[in-house]
Amino acid sequence: MFLKALTISGKKGLIREIPFNMGINLIIDETEEQITSNNAGKTTTGNNVGKTTVLKLIDFCLGAKPNIIYVDPESKRDEYKLVKDFLINQEVLIELVLTENLNDENAKKIVIERNFLSRSKIIRKINGNDFTEDEFEMKLLNLIFPDHYSEKPTFRQIISHNIRYKDENINNTLKTLDKYTTDAEYETLYLYLFGCEFNKGNSKQEILAKLKLEDTYKKRLEKQQTKTTYEVALSIILNEIEELNKKKNNLNLNENFQDDLDKLNNVKYQINKTSSELSKLTIRRDLIIEAEQELNSKKSEIDLQQLKLIYQQATNQMIGIQKTFDNLVQYHNQMIIEKVKYITKELPSLESDIKTKKNYLDKLLTEESSVSTIIAKHDTFEELEKLIIELNERYRKKGEYEIVIQQLEEVEGNIKEYNKELSKIDNELFSDDFEQTVKNQINKLNKYFATISNELYGEQYAITYDIITNRKNQRLYKFIAFNTNLSSGKKQGEISCFDIAYTLFADEENIPCLHFLLNDKKELMHDNQLVKIKEVVNRSNIQFVASILKDKLPEELNKEEYFAVKLSQKEKLFKIEN
């Protein structure tokens, strides 16, 4: 897919239309430098005219959050109120048109429309059809990457290297996602991008999520002490109970009193043990319900009958749609349902156990009250008061420690089972055959990467990988970009070389990809490299969209044919000042 046009309109009509061409497309400023009367310095610059915002608007149309347009990236709490109010009050609508062929008006197109309003006034359309936030991304995924049905990598992850205006995108070749992204997610992303077919990547992500849930539960249980410490403490408690019982047995009590006292101690033990069991069961149930609610919040609920009529109209006008829309929604919802089933399968038994424990506890409390009343009538009750209190405390701790140990053993069993499943996947993922596939695909990519980087910089860049073991003892493929000459290299150049090389590689391997690259702050690159990038993309069926200060523009690129849009302090992107 190529960029065809970006249109900004509002209540009063068209604000700006930006057409795009094949090859290099520059977003520049036309601000003329003004000098103060004493020639002490410049008073106007080409900054803050909306160059980066053009890139953000394209990203917004591809699923990014609306606030990227008006929130200060360095201080997330600060907003550009003038811009936000303008976008909302003027009901600004952004339209992005993608096409499979810029030279063919009849080529397949994707028309995306979004605005900045909320609730009933929100516009989020693809080819004239409305979508919810989750459906919107899924529809784009289906249209642009039609053979990708797994949840991971997501559409936004797949296109992250095509859109570079954030610090993590500008400064990192491969680490294009946010700082909270795990190595496991990067592994899944790049195995997909590099054409290393592995259909269990999503299953691996699910198992890792379950392991995380069990690990969190284990940490809650071990918040005070470890399992070993509980076991040692339980052993000491049992010894203390034994000693206290010896003292109790040596008391000169009548037969009935002894029976009543033993009965009371046993009832108190059962009460404490049952209370602990009930508490742990409740915690377990609540964790599962929390996880179920989180999954259900991702479930798509739409009027399939109404959409079916709309979809049938679309299929009459569009060629190449192989999957029905309700198939996609059913597929998404089915995956959510299966996850919910898996996580909640023990809920019925938990609810039943909780109810049984509550009834049993009520019975024990009634019995305790009755037996305590009987014992209190004995003349030796005061003498035994201290022993009863001490035994009661020991039995309480005994029940508590036993339940915690039991829960920890269950969690450890679950973790062990999940690790077995993970090991089966890893045995395939890290087999000699699969690793050879990874090597072959990387070698194909590096053929382009080294050629492009050598043409631009006289240096050869490449992608390599390591099989690492993380702190949780999980094996992962970790991909790395490096300079084969082992010099420091130029990060900006390395990034552009990779993006261009990847597009050429993807075309050769028939891997769907976007054919446009969005870049910010290209004035950081040397003039010669910018000129060479222009030459490469102009002959490579690639759009290279870059924002740049005009006074940093090489003379060879200072031509109207390369300009997508020209901005200035007097003519900013949204023309709010006008």
Q: Which two tokens stand for residue 310?
A: 């709309």
Lowest mean pLDDT among 93-107, 229-243, 323-337, 510-524: 323-337
Confidence band for 252, pLDDT divided at 50, 70 and 90:
low
Residues 386 and 297 in one domain: yes
Domain end point (choices 425, 445, 468)? 425
Distance from C-alpha of 19 to C-alpha of 99, rounded to nearest angstrom: 12
386/194 Cα distance (integer angstroms): 73
Closest CA to 514 of 220, 165, 140, 229: 140
Question: If you count them, how many residues does the chain have?
Answer: 578
Of 567, 543, 570, nearest in space to 20 by CA = 543
Is the domain of 506 the same as that of 516? no
Handedness of CA 181, 183, 187, 190 (dihedral sign): positive
In DSSP terms, 567 is beta-bridged to 29
Return the bridge partners of 13, or none: 10
Same domain, 83 and 156: yes
Q: How many CB atoms lie within 10 A of CB 360?
A: 15
Mean pLDDT, range 468-479, rounded to an integer = 86
358 with 460, same domain: the answer is no
Q: Is 23 helix (H, G, I), strand (E, B) or coil?
A: strand
- What pLDDT is recorded for position 44? 44
**565 alpha carbon, distance to own chain's centre:** 34
Lowest mean pLDDT across 76-80, 157-161, 355-359, 509-513: 76-80
Say if residue 157's pLDDT is above 80. Answer: yes
Reduce the secondary structure of 507-554 to three states and give it as a string: HHCCCCCCCEEEECCHHHCCHHHHHHHHHHHHHCCCEEEEEECHHHCC
Q: How much helix, strand and coil, in percent to the nearest 5, is found in the chain?
A: 55, 15, 30
Residue 97 parent element (H or E): strand 93-99
Residue 449, pLDDT > 70, answer yes
Contact between residue 184 and residue 208 where contact means Cβ atoms under 8 Å apart: yes
CB 561 within 8 A of CB 535: no
Question: Cβ distance 22 to 541 under 8 Å?
Answer: yes
d(CA 229, CA 83): 59
Give 382-399 pLDDT, tens digit per residue: 666 788 888 888 998 899
**38 has pLDDT over 70:** no
Let me know whether 57 and 67 are in one domain: yes
Give a yes or no: residue 170 inside a domain.
Answer: yes
In a domain, 190, yes or no: no
Q: What integer pLDDT is reported at residue 578 of this predicted model?
A: 66
Q: Of the candidates 363, 390, 425, which is a domain's last residue?
A: 425
Instruction: Identify whether the C-beta of residue 69 lies closer than 8 Å to the C-beta of residue 116.
Output: yes
Q: What percent of the chain has pLDDT over 90?
A: 38
Both 455 and 405 in one domain: the answer is no
Mean pLDDT of the chain: 84
* Residue-wise pLDDT tens digits, 359-370: 988 888 888 888
Asked if residue 418 has pLDDT above 70, the reply is: yes
Q: What's the token pair of residue 365?
A: 């409390």
Helices (H) and strands (E) in the chain, counts: 16, 13
For residue 466, being part of any structural domain is answered with: yes
Q: What is the count of structural domains for the chain?
A: 3
Three-state DSSP class for residue 3:
strand
Distance CA 564, CA 559 (A): 11
Q: What is the mean pLDDT of the segment spanning 77-91?
A: 91
For 326, the token pair is: 């309700």
Q: What is the mean pLDDT of residues 404-426?
A: 85
Q: What are residue 467's phi and psi, to 5 degrees? A: -95, 110
Give the pLDDT mean for 355-362.
88
Does a structural domain hold residue 574?
A: no
How far apart, in whole angstroms, are the C-alpha atoms of residue 122 and residue 396?
Answer: 58
Domain of residue 87, CATH code:
3.40.50
Q: Given this model, what pLDDT does residue 41 score? A: 45
Regarding whether 451 and 403 lie in a shared domain, the answer is no
Task: Tally the C-alpha atoms within 13 A of residue 335's C-alpha that lie toward its C-beta.
Answer: 14
Tell me if 577 is assigned to some domain. Answer: no
3-state SS assignment for residue 13: strand
In a domain, 194, yes or no: no
Q: Which two tokens stand for residue 175?
A: 């680490």
CA distance 499 to 488: 19
Q: How far apart are CA 477 and CA 475, in angstroms?
A: 7
Q: Residue 85 is encoded by which pair of tokens?
A: 């109010």
Q: For 544-563, give one letter per residue: b (16+ CB within 10 A) or e.
A: bbbbbbbeebeeebeeeebb
Q: What are phi and psi of 432, to 5 degrees?
A: -60, -40
CA gap 19, 562 in Å, rounded: 11
| In a shared domain, residues 158 and 291 | no
Claim to verify: residue 332 and residue 354 sit in the same structural domain: yes
Please tell me whether residues 505 and 563 are part of one structural domain: no
Whether residue 492 has pLDDT greater than 90: no
Pull the structure tokens for residue 490: 């130029």
Single out the residue of 133, 153, 163 nearest to residue 544, CA to CA. Answer: 163
Determine which helix (DSSP H) or strand (DSSP E) holds 310, and give its type and residue range: helix 304-317
Asked, for residue 318, whether it belongs to a domain, the answer is: yes
Measuring CA to CA, how many Å separate 25 from each of 21, 87, 207, 358, 375?
7, 25, 44, 70, 93
| Rounded alpha-carbon distances, angstroms, from residue 276 to 226, 271, 406 | 18, 9, 11
| Same domain for 36 and 176 | yes
Report d(CA 190, CA 175) in Å as an integer: 10
- pLDDT higher than 70, residue 308: no
Residue 199 in domain: no
* Residue that has been written with the tokens 């909640």 in this structure: 344
Q: Is the dihedral of CA 253, 254, 259, 263 positive or negative?
A: negative
**Stretch 197-218: mean pLDDT:** 75
Q: Which amino acid is at 258?
A: Q
The residue among 338 and 557 whose pLDDT is bigger is 557
Residue 45: the pLDDT is: 43
Q: Which domain holds residue 360?
A: 225-425
Burial track 421-440 (b if 16+ CB lie within 10 A, e otherwise) = ebeeebeebeeeebeebbee
316 lies in the same domain as 239: yes
Of 469, 487, 510, the domain-final residue: 510
What's the CA dihedral at 303, 308, 314, 317 to 10 degrees?
A: -170
